[in-house]
Amino acid sequence: LISSLLVSYEAIMIPLLLLNMPSPKFLDGMSWVVRIFWSVDIVFSFFVSYTRSEASGRMEKRWTKCAIRYMKTWFIPDLLMVSIDWI
Task: Please check whether residue 37 is in contact with residue 2, taking contact to mean a CB–CB distance below 8 angstroms.
Answer: yes
- For the segment 30-78, what is each residue's pLDDT rounded down to a tens digit? 999 999 999 999 999 999 999 987 767 889 899 999 999 999 999 999 9
- For the segment 13-39, what is each residue's pLDDT rounded down to a tens digit? 989 888 888 888 998 899 999 999 999
Task: Please check whether residue 34 is in contact with residue 7, taking contact to mean a CB–CB distance below 8 angstroms.
Answer: no
Greatest alpha-carbon pair distance for the chain in Å reads: 56
Question: Which residues contact residue 13 at a Cβ distance below 8 angstroms, ignoring those fewer than 6 apart?
Answer: 27, 30
Query: What φ, ψ does residue 9 adopt, rounded to 5°?
Result: -60, -45
Q: According to the model, what pLDDT value does residue 49 have?
A: 93
* pTM of the complete model: 0.82
